[in-house]
Amino acid sequence: MSENFVLRSTPTSPFGRKVRIAIDALGLNNRITVTPADPLDENDTLRQQNPLGKMPCLVTQDGSTIYDSGIIIEFLQDVAGTDRLLWLRGPERYRMLTQARLADGIMDASILVVYETRFRPDLPHSPRWLEHQRGKIRRGLAAFEAAPPNPAKTDVVSIGLSCALGYLDWRKQIDWRSTYPALVDWLKKFSEHEPAFERTRAKDT
């Protein structure tokens, strides 16, 4: 009998969306139950499942856990018996992993911009810190703008980039659409190619 899993993630988590797109694209929807997590709640079991208290976190049937999003996706493609999302070996694998980490880094910086106001609501916010993070977002997007991935291919790079752009559309850390026309075109084409992108969009985002 095939194993089922629990994914700890909220519908709005951009890193969680990466994994949800991969689940959908790999045809694993019927084997995974998504259970919301609250990283701010010290009583949430998320902190036992991932000592870092971050989502997404995948819980296997024997209770062991797998994180972070990149490792979960690699594990799930193994479960699905394919190398469609990430090549298993060769120089192309490391090019893909580097590009995927660049998309993750854009998302990390985007999250830190949001956390600056969420975690310090009453303090004056640091313009220097916010600009430092926005610089990472802009340089990361500029690199993708210069050489966008193939929009007709679902893999770890296109999944990560689409989630980063989706998160920027929702939280508006920068106005990326006016500056990166090739990425605007890329996201439109990717969302037409991969229906899981729209299917995993959280309500009101």
Ligand X SMILES: N[C@@H](CCC(=O)N[C@@H](CS)C(=O)NCC(=O)O)C(=O)O
Binding site for ligand X (CB under 6 A): 13-15, 39, 53-56, 67-70, 104, 111
Nearer residue to ligand X within complex by CB, 179 or 205? 205
Helix-helix angle 14-25:69-79, to 10 degrees:
10
Query: Cβ of residue 108: shortest distance to ligand X, in angstroms?
Result: 6
Q: How far is the CB of 17 from ligand X (least distance, A)?
A: 9
User: Are the C-beta atoms of 38 and 78 separated by less than 8 Å?
Assistant: no
26: helix, coil or strand?
coil
Burial of 50 (0-12, 13-18, 19+ CB in 10 A): buried
Which of 150, 18, 129 minimizes the C-alpha distance to 72?
18
Q: Which residue is nearest to ligand X (CB)?
A: 68
Backbone angles phi, psi at 40, to 5 degrees: -90, -10
Report the nearest approach of ligand X to the CB of residue 19 (Å).
8
Is the Cβ of residue 56 or residue 148 nearer to ligand X in the bound state? 56
Q: Which is nearer to ligand X, 69 or 200 (CB)?
A: 69
To ligand X, the closest distance from the beta carbon of 185 in angstroms equals: 26
159/168 Cα distance (integer angstroms) = 14
* Residue whose structure tokens are 């990472």: 136
Query: What does each C-alpha distance from 83 to 18, 24, 146, 191 come to in angstroms?
Result: 16, 15, 27, 21
Nearer to ligand X, 149 or 160 (CB): 160
**Minimum distance from residue 52 beta carbon to ligand X (Å):** 7
- Judged by beta carbon, residue 73 or residue 174, the one nearer ligand X is 73
Let me know: does 176 contact 118? Beta carbons within 8 Å: no
Q: How far is the CB of 135 from ligand X (least distance, A)?
A: 19
Using the minimum distance from each CB to ligand X, give the nearer residue, 94 or 119: 119
Strand, helix or coil for residue 162: helix
Measured distance CA(73)–CA(80) in Å, rounded: 10
